[in-house]
Amino acid sequence: MEVRRPFPWGEMASVAIPLIAVLVPVARMMGASALSMEEGNVLAVSAGILDGRLPHADVGYLYAPGTPWTVAGAFGVFGTSVVVERMVGLAHRLLLVWGIQRLARRWGLSTATCAALATWAILAPFGLIAYPWMAGLAFLAAGTALTLDGEDRRTAAVGAAFCGLAMVHQLVLAPAALLVVTAAFIPAEEERRTRLGTGLVAGLSPFLLHLVLVGPRAMFEGMVVDPIFRLRAGRRLPLPPDPADSGDFFARLDDFVRGPETLPGLDRPAQIAALFWLLLAGTFVLCVVAWRWRGSARNRLAIMAGVGVALLPMALQRPSPNHLKFVGAWTVAVVVVAVSVPLGRWLGHRMRHAAAPIALVAVLGGLFVVAPHHVGRFTAEAFTDRPFDRSTATVVNDGRTVPVGRGPAAEAIANEISTVVSMVDALTRPGERFFVGPADLTRTNYGDTFFYFLLPDLAPASSHLEMNPGLANHWDGGLADDLATADLLVLTPRFDGWSEPNASVRPGDPVAAALVAERFCDIGGTTTWRLLKTCGLPTRP
């Protein structure tokens, strides 16, 4: 007689609840501003691949090449748009919460659900941008889960491949990914070792394709030399963070715009410092707990704690609110597990189902109390903003739409951008070269990369789409030679006041600025953006 297994409602709910939590704010996140340099760069670099401009070879790119190639593939299939790029970002977030859920499922479905929810609560404020770190973390979480669960050798191979893909998207995840595969490889039997090795090689194989296309020197300089040696001095922030000063420029700007802290508790700079120390303390405590763990799956918890340690350099090299959350998203999930399992034993059989929700509330509640602005307010806003609708200010050009946000300020910025784009279209012919950057080209700290995406008929005049200190303004870095070939410049002073406690405040190579002053003339624009052409050349109306 065949015995029917009951439908796994609990397993379905454990997966569905965090996935629904990701999907609920999607309509709101689609309307978020796409004017950040980071998202504009993803859009421009990915779209450029379809036009034959490769990251590391033709345009600068500071990360491993996985994200732009993935987004470019999506553009090729579904069309080039912000929506498609953000749908790729959504896929990464769904994979991430699934990976965390599966990792924690070993300690119960309730624990798995709450661990995934904790991760998403930390990362929700970043919206849906297809950011390399988010993609890499998603593949790392899913790869770790499948590798550790891989009694089926095929599952282990897929997990190792995902760990390889994590490195293809974000090279700094290599220590964490290799830790996971090595921990599974050492005690494995020969056949499983073969599967793990094959899977890892398969996951890393996109590196080989990219190497063939761009060459080893361009690839090494783009992924290693530029971000580690040239950029680091201009992006590094003090350790430990100053509790009286938000070192990150955008945190400082937010402090200025919002005025004094209105929420109870620490001031905003002190919240950043507190989150930094909590992250270090939490990671250390997790390592101690994993070492002394007497419950089930001790090796799994130890590997998860080890991954948390391997992620710490991301926060140490720049302890900004964003970087602390990037790393903390993993750590809070492991903390929820480490709290809920012994709490469940202490509560007893009747009440142990409440242990994980209590752990989730305690962990997130504690973070909200310590950082009511940087965690509490930003997470709440991610779920309460209005959906993308007609009230969202947008800029449309050549079939491409870029959301700007809501409110009078967003409307004013959208109108300015539309004016600039219309002027550029009137002053150029398809195929001509243009450059977008700061008015002070000796300090290249940030830029408006979204213009490259909005003007697809024109070619970037420089490989420096992003403006980064120590790169675009690097001595003898070639920016002046690039600008000498430009037909049009779009310059803005709005980042000239950039101030961080690092090398970004020091001017770099003055040759590009001197060339602009000597050869280019202001021909109009808006309050925020000015257009310049070579002096003495006729301009088209």
In a domain, 9, yes or no: no
What's residue 6's pLDDT?
Answer: 60
With a cut of 70, list the residues of the chain below it in pLDDT: 1-7, 151, 388, 537-541
**Residues paired with residue 393 on neighbouring β-strands, in sequence order:** 405
Tens digit of each residue's pLDDT (9 = 90 or more) over 147-202: 998 767 789 999 999 999 999 999 999 999 999 999 999 998 888 899 999 999 99
What's residue 140's pLDDT?
Answer: 98
- Regarding whether 456 and 345 lie in a shared domain, the answer is no
- Of 384, 419, 447, the one marking the end of a domain is 384
CA dist list (Å): 336 to 101, 283, 295, 340, 380:
12, 13, 15, 6, 20
Question: What pTM value is reported for the model?
Answer: 0.95
Q: Which two tokens stand for residue 451?
A: 């213009």
CA atoms of 208 and 216, how far apart (whole Å): 10
In a domain, 8, yes or no: no
- Regarding whether 464 and 356 lie in a shared domain, the answer is no
- Of 384, 408, 440, the one marking the end of a domain is 384
- Of 346, 363, 384, the one marking the end of a domain is 384
- What is the phi-psi region of residue 387: left when phi exceeds 0, alpha when psi lies from -120 to 50, beta otherwise? beta
- Regarding whether 314 and 461 lie in a shared domain, the answer is no
Residue 149's φ and ψ, nearest 5 degrees, are -90, 0
Q: Which two tokens stand for residue 429?
A: 């012919």
- Regarding whether 399 and 358 lie in a shared domain, the answer is no
Nearest of 516, 471, 515 to residue 490 by alpha carbon: 516
Distance of alpha carbon 89 from the chain centroid: 9
- Regarding whether 313 and 180 lie in a shared domain, the answer is yes
Do 482 and 462 meet the contact criterion of CB atoms below 8 Å apart?
Answer: yes
In a domain, 281, yes or no: yes
Q: Which two tokens stand for residue 35?
A: 């004017």
In a domain, 10, yes or no: no
What's residue 8's pLDDT?
Answer: 72
Neighbours of 512 (CB within 10 A): 26
What's residue 5's pLDDT?
Answer: 59
Look at strands 488-492 and 530-534 and give their pairing. antiparallel
| Cα dihedral 366→368→373→374 (10° resolution) | 70
Q: Beta-strand (E) ranges in 227-267? A: none
In a domain, 274, yes or no: yes
Neighbours of 5 (CB within 10 A): 5
In a domain, 1, yes or no: no
Look at strands 520-525 and 488-492 and give their pairing. unpaired
Range of the domain at 463: 393-534
Do 147 and 196 meet the contact criterion of CB atoms below 8 Å apart?
Answer: yes
Tens digit of each residue's pLDDT (9 = 90 or more) over 473-487: 998 888 999 999 999
What's residue 257's pLDDT?
Answer: 84
What's residue 347's pLDDT?
Answer: 87
